[in-house]
Amino acid sequence: MTALFIDRKDARLSLDGGALRVQAGGESLSLPLGQIERIIVRGAATLDTGLLTRLWTQGIGLLLLSGRRSEPTARFHGQPTNDVRRRMAQTLAACDPDRAVAWAKPLVSAKLASQARALTRLAKARGAMRRDALAFDRAIGEMAPRILAATSLDALRGHEGAAARLYWSALVGAFAPSLGFAGRNRRPPRDPVNAALSLAYTIATFEAGKQAQRHGLDPMIGFLHAPSFGRESLACDLVEPLRPHIDVWIEGLFRERRLRGEHFTTGPDGACLLGKAGRAAFYRDLDTSLPLWSRWLGRSARRLAMGLDAQAIPELGGCPDDEP
C-alpha cells in the first residue's frame, strides 16, 4: 500500500514512533510510515503536528478534500529540495514567451496522442465509436503541423481546445445514456461520470505536483497553463497527457459496474455527489492504479528537469497507456 485514504469524519491521525496511528470510531490502526507515499483525507479529521512534521521531512504528500464535494482544500508535497537553481531556470523559461511555447508543444502533442489512443481502445469495445475515433485521428493528423508551427501560447491552446471539443464529443459514446454524460462539465460536476472524473483529476494533479517538487521543480510555474492564483500550473501541465488514460479507467469502473448510478446523489445546487459506498469502490481501484500514474508522472517530471538542466526541450514521448 503506497496510498492511505481516510474517509471518516471522526478520524484522528498521529505519529507513533515510526508508524502512523489512525483512530476512528473506537478502533485503532497502526501503519509503518515507510510504506506510505501519500495520504488523502476527506472531510473533518484531526492530524497531530508531530505527524505533519514527519510527513514533511519524509516527503510524504498530504491532500485534504472537502467533506461534501471532495474538492481540494489543502495540500503539501513534503519538503522541497534545497537547491533553488533548477526552479530559477524553470522560472526564466516560463517567463520567456518563445521558450514557454517551445516547452508547451511536447505537452500538447503528448496529450493529443494519448487522446487518440484512448478513443481507439474504447472503440474496440464499442463499435459505434470507431467512426469518431478515426475522425479524431484524421483531425489531429492535420493539426500536428500547425502545433509544431505555433509561435504563441494562445495559438497552441487554440489547437488543444479544438482537439478537446472533438475528443469529448466522441467520448460521450463510451458511457451508458442512463448516466447522463453529454461532455465535460465541472464546478460543480452535474452527472456521475463528471463527478468521478473530477475526483480522479484532482488526485492525479496532486500527484503531479508531488512529482514535480520531488524533481526540484516548482509545481506552481507552468508552461502550457498560465500562472493563476492558487493553481499548481506545472502540475496541470504534467497531468494533461495522463487525463485520457484516466478517462479510460473511469469508463472501466462504470462498464464493470464497480461504480453505478445509485452510488451518486444530486445536491440542492445540482452538484452530483459520490456517496460513501461509491467512494469506497473508487478508492479500492485507485489504490492499484495510482502507483502507475505516479511512475509516469515521475518520468515526465524528470525529463522536464533534465531538459532544464541541459537547456534543451524535453522529449516526453509515448502515452501513459504504453508504459504506465
Dihedral, 242, 247, 250, 256 alpha carbons, nearest 10: -120
DSSP lists the bridge partners of residue 19 as: 16, 32
Question: How would residue 315 be classed by pLDDT, with cut points 50, 70 and 90?
Answer: low
Adjacency order of strands within the sheet including 11-16: 27-32, 19-24, 11-16, 45-47
Say what the pLDDT of residue 158 is. 94
Residue pair 207/293 in contact (Cβ under 8 Å)? The answer is: yes
Percentage of the chain lying above the pLDDT 90 cut: 57
Say what the pLDDT of residue 187 is. 85
CATH 3.100.10.20 domain residues, the chain: 3-76
Whole-angstrom CA distances from 315 to 8, 15, 59 are 42, 42, 27
- For residue 229, the SS3 value is coil
Say what the pLDDT of residue 130 is. 85
Comparing 61-75, 158-172, 256-270, 280-294, the range with the smallest average pLDDT is 61-75
Percentage of the chain lying above the pLDDT 70 cut: 96
- For residue 278, the SS3 value is helix
Residue pair 46/56 in contact (Cβ under 8 Å)? The answer is: no
DSSP lists the bridge partners of residue 38 as: 3, 61
- For residue 16, the SS3 value is strand
pLDDT higher for 124 or 93?
A: 93
Residue 317 has pLDDT above 60, yes or no: no
CATH 1.20.120.920 domain residues, the chain: 85-310
| CATH 3.100.10.20, domain 3-76, yes or no | yes
Question: Could you tell me which CATH number the domain at 85-310 has?
Answer: 1.20.120.920
Beta-sheet strands, E only, within 120-228: none
Question: How would residue 208 be classed by pLDDT, with cut points 50, 70 and 90?
Answer: very high
- For residue 127, the SS3 value is helix
